[in-house]
């Protein structure tokens, strides 16, 4: 993807963040919620940067429709003016739009900025928003490399503003059930974990059609996608990672293809390619992406077999935690079905969970659980998760963030430390693959 109008270069970002860097006081273990000090009845002034599919839907239209009693969308920003104009209309927003972030903040005076841009630009906007006096809610991954991660931690410390990371997977029913089972002590102390995640040939392939297929934009799936999984594991175990070793390969997409084109829409292999995807049948995506292509050449239906794709689709990672737990994790991106299987080995038994995520998200997920006590029998159960964005998780998370009314007994609210610890496993895994050695987390960032 080549960008004509990108206001933030990486060099510019690094020079700003280096200037902002400060020494190390330790961060709180979890964020108390960025609106804790908000007076009852106050309407929160919210601005959003990144009006793509996630920004315009979950953090745009949904907020405007469901949270008008607690917040007002005061400004929208995106580097692509055509996408921005369509997104504003789609959201039903009444606020002004901007391609200049600083100008948006100056003119609309938001209290909170929501960051939903392409991953590699999150850190720049998170830091800038805090510099300009705003709290931040950011989509995952909080950042895509170690320097950006450090800059966020340092800027938060220096400005006293707060970052919330929207880890919606913590709110899905099966994730909660796993957490509660581990907390009950039924399998004793966890000693090791087997965690295998499967992305299917539809959802998995979608990452190879877009900017996600390039490390420079997404940090690879080890960061972009696996940040969810590492965050879940850190939260499930109440543990912090120390060391990471990884292997990765590109075995299906990218250079492996025997046929290729620039994009599906104009592809001569439409009838023979298994991965052909027809964006023209979706009016919303045509408006959001295809009609805005003239501004930044962002092709939403680019070929999954582009030779330049430089991320992995086959990944294995070992993680050592501070409490001596070890985890074996794998991520495969061209599977026939989607979901995960996780097994916790404990001193008194084992917890197995097998989760099938059917797409589209509105179809309930299915999860099977087995708790087996050593020298005892197995207890099995099933749950069928609710509908709505990401199995109902998006809505519960937003209620907790914006209405601040749910007790946080499971410590699901996530701040910059949780954001950092999850991406750092992925960044360390990426460095480990690139350099062929294990990486310690504290080689990357000073927490
Ligand atoms: N938590 C979840 O489950 C979940 C689900 C989907 C997406 N996401 C996250 O949401 C974010 C957006 O994903 P998406 O699928 O909407 O992507 P997208 O490509 O549809 O949208 C990204 C938007 O950012 C804009 N943009 C790019 N560079 C910019 C810059 N420098 N300044 C301003 N705007 C810029 C693009 O023009 C585009 O409109 C990603 O970080 C992704 O990881 C999270």
Average pLDDT over residues 28-45: 59
Nearest CA to ligand 1 atom 10: 116
Ligand 1 mean position to 288 CA, how many Å? 12
For the CA of 389, the closest atom of ligand 1 is 3
pLDDT in tens, 122-174: 999 999 999 999 999 999 999 999 999 999 999 999 999 999 999 999 999 89
- Ligand 1 centre and the CA of 117: distance in Å? 4
The answer to whether the beta carbons of residues 117 and 13 sit under 8 Å apart is no
CATH number for the 10-165 domain, one of 3.30.360.10, 3.40.50.720, 3.40.50.2300, 3.30.565.10? 3.40.50.720
What is the Cα–Cα distance from 98 to 100, expressed in whole angstroms?
5
Question: Ligand 1 atom 24: the closest Cα is on which residue?
Answer: 117
Question: Which of 7, 139, 210 most suits a substitution to test ligand 1, by most atoms within 8 Å of the C-beta?
Answer: 139
Higher pLDDT, 272 or 360: 272
Residue whose structure tokens are 């990765």: 248
Question: What pLDDT, on the 0 to 100 scale, is given for residue 23?
Answer: 25
What pLDDT, on a 0 to 100 scale, did the predictor assign at position 406? Answer: 63
CA of 258 to the centre of ligand 1 (A): 30
Stretch among 10-19, 104-113, 130-139, 338-347 having the lowest mean pLDDT: 10-19
Strand-pair partners of 211: none
Report d(CA 342, CA 336) in Å as an integer: 18
Probe residue for ligand 1, chosen from 5, 52, 127, 297 as the CB with the greatest number of ligand atoms within 8 Å: 52
The CA-based angle 263-265-269, given to 5 degrees, is: 75
Question: Is a pLDDT exceeding 70 seen at residue 20?
Answer: no
State pLDDT tens for residues 381-439.
998 766 667 777 888 899 888 887 567 889 999 999 999 999 999 999 999 999 999 99
Return phi, psi of residue 251, to 5°. -115, -15
| pLDDT tens digits, 335-345 | 999 999 999 99
Which pLDDT value is given to residue 126?
Answer: 98
Please identify, by atom number, the ligand 1 atom nearest to the C-alpha of residue 119. Answer: 41
Q: Are 20 and 85 in contact (CB under 8 A)?
A: no
The DSSP letter of residue 60 is I
Mutate to test the pocket of ligand 1, among 5, 54, 414 (most ligand atoms within 8 A of CB): 54
Distance 78 CA to ligand 1 centre (A): 10
Closest residue to atom 5 of ligand 1, CA basis: 54
Exposed e or buried b per residue across 186-212, where buried means at least 16 C-beta atoms within 10 angstroms of its C-beta: bbeebeebebbbbbbbebbbbbbbbbb
Residue 1 pLDDT grade (very low, low, confident, very high; cuts 50, 70, 90): very low
Residue 55 Cα, ligand 1 centroid: separation in angstroms?
7
Maximum distance among all Cα pairs of the chain, rounded to whole angstroms: 67
pLDDT tens figures, 219-242: 999 999 999 999 999 999 999 999
Residue among 192, 143, 73 nearest 417 (CA): 143
Taking the centre of ligand 1 as the mean of its atom positions, its distance from the CA of residue 197, in whole angstroms, is 23
Q: 202 pLDDT exceeds 90?
A: yes
The average pLDDT across 7-34 equals: 34
**CA of residue 14 to ligand 1 center, whole Å:** 21
8 A C-beta contact, residue 312 and residue 221: yes
Q: Mean per-residue pLDDT for 22-48?
A: 56
Q: Look at residue 131 in the predicted model and tell me its pLDDT.
A: 98
Ligand 1 contacts (CB < 6 A) are: 6, 8, 49-55, 78-80, 83, 116-119, 121, 139-140, 166, 168, 224, 390
Helix (H, G, I), strand (E, B) or coil at 71: strand
Ligand 1: atom nearest CA of 122 is 41
Q: Cα of 161 to ligand 1 centre, how many Å?
A: 23
Other Cβ atoms closer than 10 A to 255: 12
Task: Give the pLDDT band (50/70/90) at residue 45.
Answer: very high
Q: How far apart are CA 125 and CA 117, in angstroms?
A: 9
Can you give the pLDDT at residue 9? Answer: 38
Which of 3.30.360.10, 3.90.105.10, 3.30.1360.120, 1.20.1080.10 would CATH assign to domain 169-253+309-398+410-443?
Answer: 3.30.360.10
Going by pLDDT thresholds of 50, 70 and 90, the confidence category of residue 40 is low
CA of 52 to the centre of ligand 1 (A): 5
For the chain, the structural domain boundaries read 10-165, 169-253+309-398+410-443, 254-296
The DSSP call for residue 364 is P
Q: Please confirm whether the linkage preceding 49 is cis (ω < 30° from 0).
A: no
Q: Following DSSP, what letter does each residue of 273-304 receive, concatenated?
A: -TT---GGG-HHHHHHTGGGHHHH---TTB-T
260 alpha carbon to ligand 1 midpoint, in Å? 26
Indicate the pairing of strand 339-346 with strand 326-335: unpaired
Instruction: Report CA(47)–ligand 1 centroid distance (Å).
Output: 15
Question: Which ligand 1 atom is at minimum distance from the Cα of 6?
Answer: 31
CA dihedral 203, 209, 214, 219 (to 10 degrees): -20
């Amino acid at each position: 993807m080549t960008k004509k109008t990108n206001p933030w270069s990486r060099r510019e970002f690094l020079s700003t963040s280096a200037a902002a860097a400060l020494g190390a006081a330790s961060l709180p273990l979890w964020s108390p919620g960025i609106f804790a000090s908000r007076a009852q009845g106050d309407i929160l002034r919210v601005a959003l940067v990144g009006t793509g599919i996630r920004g315009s839907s979950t953090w745009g239209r949904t907020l405007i429709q469901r949270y008008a009693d607690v917040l007002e969308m005061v400004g929208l920003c995106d580097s692509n003016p055509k996408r921005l104009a369509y997104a504003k209309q789609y959201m039903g927003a009444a606020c002004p739009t901007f391609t200049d972030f600083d100008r948006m903040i100056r003119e609309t005076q938001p209290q909170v900025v929501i960051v939903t841009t392409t991953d590699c630009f999150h850190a720049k906007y998170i830091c800038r928003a805090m510099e300009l006096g705003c709290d931040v809610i950011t989509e995952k991954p909080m950042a895509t490399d170690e320097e950006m991660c450090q800059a966020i931690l340092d800027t938060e410390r220096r400005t006293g503003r707060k970052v919330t990371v929207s880890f919606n997977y913590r709110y899905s029913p099966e994730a909660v059930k796993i957490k509660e089972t581990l907390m009950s002590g039924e399998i004793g102390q966890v000693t090791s974990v087997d965690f295998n995640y499967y992305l299917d040939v539809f959802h998995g392939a979608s990452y190879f059609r877009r900017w996600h297929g390039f490390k420079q934009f997404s940090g690879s799936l080890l960061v972009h996608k696996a940040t969810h999984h590492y965050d879940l594991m850190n939260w499930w175990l109440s543990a912090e990672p120390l060391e990471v070793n990884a292997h990765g390969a590109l075995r299906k997409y990218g250079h492996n293809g025997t046929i290729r084109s620039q994009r599906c829409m104009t592809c001569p292999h439409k009838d023979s390619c298994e991965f052909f995807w027809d964006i023209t049948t979706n009016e919303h995506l045509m408006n959001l992406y295809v009609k805005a292509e003239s501004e930044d050449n962002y092709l939403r239906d680019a070929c999954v077999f582009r030779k330049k794709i430089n991320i992995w689709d086959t990944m294995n990672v070992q993680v050592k935690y501070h409490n001596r737990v070890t985890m074996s994790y794998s991520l495969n991106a061209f599977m026939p079905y989607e979901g995960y299987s996780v097994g916790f080995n404990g001193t008194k038994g084992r917890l197995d969970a097998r989760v099938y995520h059917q797409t589209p998200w509105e179809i309930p997920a299915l999860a099977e659980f087995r708790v087996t006590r050593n020298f005892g029998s197995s207890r099995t159960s099933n749950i069928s998760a609710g509908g709505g964005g990401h199995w109902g998780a998006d809505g519960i998370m937003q209620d907790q963030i914006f209405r601040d009314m749910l007790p946080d007994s499971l410590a699901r609210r996530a701040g910059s430390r949780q954001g950092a610890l999850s991406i750092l496993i992925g960044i360390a895994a990426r460095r480990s693959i690139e350099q062929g050695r294990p990486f310690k987390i504290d080689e990357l960032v000073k927490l």
